[in-house]
Structure 1
Amino acid sequence: MKICVVGAGALGCSIGGVLTEAGEEVWLITRNKAHVDAMNREGLKMRDGDQVRTVAVKAATSCAGLEPMDLIIVLAKSYDTRSAIEAAAPAIGPNTQILSLQNGLGHEEILAEIVGRERLLAGKTYVGGVMTAPGCITIGTSGKQTIIGELDGAISDRVQKVASHFNRAGLDTRVSDNIIGTIWDKLLINVATGALAGISGLPYGHLYAVPEIEAAALDAVAEAMTVAQANGIALSIATPRQAWEMASASLPFEFKTSMLQSLERGAKTEIDFINGSVVRWGERCNVPTPVNRTLVACVKGIETRQRHGVQ
């Protein structure tokens, strides 16, 4: 299968790297030129536990000159979704499928505007990845599930084919007939810790030691669950505490959420696609979301302070 990973940071390289090892033809696309140059020069170095494997990969800073792909995996930052899929145009042919594995909620609407809803597959992944240097990542694929599906819940041949290729590569992947519910389940986990870690500046070990943070997290998740239920979303997560506990499962004391990592770099966060999505969906059905609205305001305040250099 010809596969293009758009937004191939640490997570995209983890997925793309193991797919390459399994014999798939994979292109890793990222604007990080130093990372691209290192991968093309020395291969992608993937640390998995105590072992480091080097994989010869194909990497580029754009899709210019690529042939049409069978599958494009979108892992760009949420706020870059539109520009990323527009820039992927050379790799999109008549039969190309688009699979978003991004965090948060709302990417499918953006992608459908550009490429058509009929091309889209959606999913969530619990695979992890950390970039330690250009061309070097630490991967987290063992025991981490990826769930994909058709937006209408159909168990189609095409989505089963994608899952079979992922599974053959060692990516534990299943097909869901309720992928929108799956997306919301993952959203609840992000709602539990992302903004609170970003605002507090705390890694998980310290974050989970503060009772007031735990209480705020449970309130934020409870709001999100009420919004989901009001919109007819079938969740598998049954309680706010379940999302809170799932968020930290098997993660080290020093783990930092992606939102905290973004703020530490002075970069824009995905708050609009996480807690901000809860607020927007709440407005649709007149469900108040004061906790999530406050978390959005706090994160945007930090972004503004950083953007303008306010001390």
Structure 2
Amino acid sequence: MRFLVVGAGALGGYFGGRLLEAGRDVTFLLRPRRAAQLAKTGLVVQSPFGNLQLPAPRHVLADGIDGPYDVVIAGSKAYDLESTMDSFAPAVGPNTVILPLLNGMKHIDSLVARFGEDKVLGGLCMISATLDDEGRVLHLNDTHGLSYGERAGGRSARIDAIAAQFAGARFDGNASETISQDMWEKWVFIASAAGLTSLMRASIGDIMAAGGEDVALSIFGECCAIAEHNGFAPRPAAVQRGRAIMTAAGSPMTASMYKDIVRGAPVEADHIVGDLLGRAAPGHAAAPSVLRTAYVHLKAYEAQRARTAG
């Protein structure tokens, strides 16, 4: 089975590297700058589960794709999705499946519109990783899960084939029969944490120290209600886990969107928060709420950033 991993950043570099380590047929789709960097340093992964040093991993540039691949693994930022789809389109053949690892659900609509309903699996990953200034993949926590499945549910031959390839690789692969539910539950949590910590410009622990437990529970409850309105009410275990994380005293946790704001980077405001608001019950998206306030805050940041750049 031929895998095309789009990019060798934090996600692609980690999971693609682990598949290469396990002897799988992996090619990275790279931009010229990252290709030049890997030619010098190789793919370096530093992780609690074992470090990797993979010299000169096989790669292609967008204009060098040599035909269809069996699986395309894509984990770009949402604001890069259009150009990302353009780059890997030549790799999508009649039997190719696309495994996206973005948060939210809007990207699914875009991928289906471009490549067709049957081409797009559901997927998510649970990992904290980043690239350092030297291009090394730094795995920052003790989880490295990758879940995937048919969006309509159940199991299929192509999911079984992917599961066989993931078996033996050093990450926790999970062939889920409820991947759409899993994706919605992650979206609820990501939107809550991103909205809250970005709005407050503070960690969960600092927000709790300021007496903000009710605010944290309000935004989480709003996100749960939107998921329920769409037929994906979070399961009790997900609700319990989310509430505990969102109100943990002393927690240093901040969402990656908050970190992007701090360094003046683009944010996925529309994809993570705006799209969720857009799927709310009629009237909710325009009503005053913590989630809507967080969204306006994010859009104001984007406006300020655009003005500064101009």
Specify the TM-score bucket, using the shorter chain as the normaliser: 0.7 to 0.9
Alpha-carbon contact 1:76-1:102 (below 8 Å) kept: yes
TM-score normalised to structure 1 length: 0.87
TM-score normalised to structure 2 length: 0.87
The residue that corresponds to 1:120 in the other structure is 120
2:128 and 2:58 map into 1 onto residues whose CA distance is 21
The residue that corresponds to 2:305 in the other structure is 306
1:84 and 1:101 map into 2 onto residues whose CA distance is 13
1:164/1:244 CA distance change after superposition, 3 Å: farther
Q: Which residues of structure 2 form unaligned runs of 5+?
A: none
2:224 paired with 1:225:
yes
1:151/1:298 CA distance change after superposition, 3 Å: same
The residue that corresponds to 2:25 in the other structure is 25
1:191/1:174 CA distance change after superposition, 3 Å: same
Alpha-carbon contact 1:192-1:244 (below 8 Å) kept: no
* Cα offset, 1:234, TM superposition: 4.4
* Cα offset, 1:308, TM superposition: 1.1
Alpha-carbon contact 2:145-2:173 (below 8 Å) kept: yes
Q: Which amino acid aligns with 1:280?
A: G
2:251 and 2:136 map into 1 onto residues whose CA distance is 22
1:281 and 1:248 map into 2 onto residues whose CA distance is 25
Alpha-carbon contact 1:220-1:292 (below 8 Å) kept: yes
2:10 paired with 1:10:
yes
Alpha-carbon contact 1:7-1:84 (below 8 Å) kept: no
CA RMSD between the two structures: 2.7
SS at match of 1:269: coil
Is 22-31 or 87-96 further displaced after alignment?
22-31
1:255/1:132 CA distance change after superposition, 3 Å: farther
Q: Give deviations 1:63-120, integer Å, cap 9, x for gaps.
A: 5333321110111111222321122122112211101111122111100011101111
Q: Give deviations 1:239-284, integer Å, cap 9, x for gaps.
A: 75531434799xx96654221232233222112122212211105x
SS at match of 1:102: coil
SS at match of 1:4: strand
The residue that corresponds to 2:266 in the other structure is 268
* Cα offset, 1:307, TM superposition: 1.9
Output aligned runs, 1:62-101, within 5 Å. 62=62, 64-101=64-101
Q: Which residues of structure 1 form unaligned runs of 5+?
A: none
1:307 and 1:52 map into 2 onto residues whose CA distance is 39
Q: Which amino acid aligns with 1:122?
A: G
Alpha-carbon contact 1:43-1:135 (below 8 Å) kept: no
* Cα offset, 1:41, TM superposition: 2.1
The residue that corresponds to 2:41 in the other structure is 42
Alpha-carbon contact 1:82-1:111 (below 8 Å) kept: no
2:290 and 2:253 map into 1 onto residues whose CA distance is 24
2:251 and 2:27 map into 1 onto residues whose CA distance is 34
SS at match of 1:225: helix
Alpha-carbon contact 2:17-2:52 (below 8 Å) kept: no
Alpha-carbon contact 1:3-1:72 (below 8 Å) kept: yes
The residue that corresponds to 1:259 in the other structure is 257
2:295 and 2:37 map into 1 onto residues whose CA distance is 37
The residue that corresponds to 1:281 in the other structure is 279
1:226/1:4 CA distance change after superposition, 3 Å: same
